[in-house]
Amino acid sequence: MESSRSDQIASLLEEQILTGRFAPGARLDEVSLAEEHQVSRTPIREALQRLLLSGLVEHAPRRGVFVRQASAIEIMEMFEVMAELEAACGRLAAMRSSEEAVERLRRVNAGCREALKNGDADAYYEENGAFHHFIYAQSGNRFLENEAARLHRRLKPYRRMQLHLRGRMQQSMDEHDGIVDAIAAGKAGAAAELLRSHVGVQGEKFHHLLQQLRLEKTG
């Protein structure tokens, strides 16, 4: 798996787009990429197709492929869907988690608390990701787990931005505790609701952040 050259290049390009190596709106030239990676255009085209399907780039026929410029509206929409998917995971996790699973969830959450205590935003980012992925897995639904992880990954660059907002880490942590308790108690509805607002607030924070950026730009 992942052995072919085009697969490797696809993963690499995806990473480069998500980390900003290619800015939104930038054109991905087949021949330049081919030269850069020392391959022919064929593997490059296959890699680009993969990115196309994942929605990271868009394709103008006979024009080329460009890094997708997700509008603020679109990003808010994605956060809204993320909130719903997480709510679904939480709901199912509350109904299906075993005692051991809850215990492990508490341990993962403890990792978040540790990072918060150290004021380490990067560590918190990592631990937070583990926390959410664990809940996806505990939904007991592999398909749901994959879909949630896929969108989570897609939102990566936008989620990272907001961790540096003042007080966000502490607030996030408080919400985590409530979520863990709800799942532990098997309260499906509560778990769903808490996760929905937990993620939903990220969307709103992002909106807030965007406005700030816009104000700084114009002001």
Partner DNA sequence: TATACGTTTCTTGTATACAATATCATTGAC
Partner DNA sequence: GTCAATGATATTGTATACAAGAAACGTATA
Question: Interface residues with DNA (CB under 7 A)?
Answer: 4-6, 29-31, 38-43, 45-46, 59, 61-65
Q: Which of residues 49-78 bind its own copies (CB under 8 A)?
A: 49-50, 53-54, 61, 74, 77-78
76 to each of 40, 91, 203, 207, how far by Cα in Å? 38, 22, 6, 7
> Residue 70 CB, nearest distance to DNA (Å)?
21
**Residue (4 or 212) nearer to its own copies, CB:** 4
Report the candidate in 178, 164, 188 with the shortest Cα–Cα distance to residue 109. 178
Which one of its own copies, DNA, none interacts with residue 80, CB within 5 to 8 A by kind? its own copies
Q: Is 30 in the site for its own copies (CB under 8 A)?
A: no
- Which residue type occupies 114? E
Q: What is d(CA 203, CA 80) in angstroms, rounded to the nearest whole number?
A: 7
> Residue 192 CB, nearest distance to DNA (Å)?
41
> Residue 45 CB, nearest distance to its own copies (Å)?
7
| E-strand stretches of the chain | 27-28, 57-60, 64-67
Q: What is the DSSP string of 119-140?
A: T-HHHHHHHHHHHHHHHHHHTS
> Residue 8 CB, nearest distance to DNA (Å)?
8
**Residue (92 or 180) nearer to its own copies, CB:** 92
> Residue 133 CB, nearest distance to its own copies (Å)?
17
Q: What is the DSSP string of 156-190?
A: HHHHHHHTTSTTHHHHHHHHHHHHHHHHHTT-HHH
Q: What is d(CA 124, CA 111) in angstroms, rounded to the nearest whole number?
A: 8
Q: Is 34 in the site for its own copies (CB under 8 A)?
A: no
**Residue (59 or 160) nearer to DNA, CB:** 59
**Cα 193–Cα 194–Cα 199 angle in degrees, nearest 5:** 100
Binding site for its own copies (CB under 8 A): 1, 3-4, 45-46, 49-50, 53-54, 61, 74, 77-78, 80-81, 84-85, 87-88, 92, 141-144, 147
